[in-house]
């Protein structure tokens, strides 16, 4: 009778199970230590004696049919946004990756958050 220690496939299965377990532990560690996203609001205090706290509101930029718009649907020039404030770049849901990357490069922001436009926004932009 062949024991478990003499079967080479048992050794391979044991090695694979240890590798998958290690990957699972690493993924759990990465998920628990990741930041909660860039949609957080930054809190700044004016001075050491000031009790007032200011919250920075994010900048919204819409990329639609090759043009950039602000949240009031006015034409906007990409790259003029404050790089210290969070930036949300809204794009069409079916926009291809190449166009999205081009739009992000023209915005010239260190970490833009890409979001998709809702049907209401698309309808409003189409009427403009």
Beta strands 87-91; 67-69: pairing state: unpaired
- The predicted pLDDT at position 18 comes to 92
Q: Is the pLDDT of residue 38 over 70?
A: no
Which pLDDT tens digit goes with each residue over 49-98? 444 444 568 888 899 888 888 888 888 888 878 788 888 889 999 888 88
Instruction: Give SS3 for 118.
Output: coil
Q: What is the DSSP letter of 75?
A: B
Chain centroid to Cα 48, Å, comes to: 33
Output the pTM of the full model: 0.53
- Residues 25, 31: Cα–Cα separation, whole Å: 10
- The predicted pLDDT at position 51 comes to 45
Token pair of 98 as six digits: 């190449």
% of the chain with per-residue pLDDT over 90: 3
H and E: helices and strands count for the chain:
3, 6
- Residues 57, 55: Cα–Cα separation, whole Å: 6
């Amino acid at each position: 009778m062949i024991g478990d220690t003499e079967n080479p496939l048992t050794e391979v299965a044991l090695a694979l199970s240890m590798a998958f377990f290690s990957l699972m532990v690493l993924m759990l560690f990465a998920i628990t230590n990741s930041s909660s996203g860039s949609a957080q609001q930054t809190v700044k205090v004016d001075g050491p004696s000031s009790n007032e706290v200011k919250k920075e509101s994010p900048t919204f930029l819409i990329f639609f049919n090759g043009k950039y718009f602000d949240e009031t649907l006015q034409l906007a020039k990409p790259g003029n946004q404050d790089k210290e404030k969070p930036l949300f770049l809204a794009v069409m849901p079916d926009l291809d990756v190449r166009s999205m990357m081009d739009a992000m490069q023209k915005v010239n922001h260190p970490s833009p958050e890409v979001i998709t436009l809702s049907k209401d926004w698309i309808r409003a932009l189409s009427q403009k």
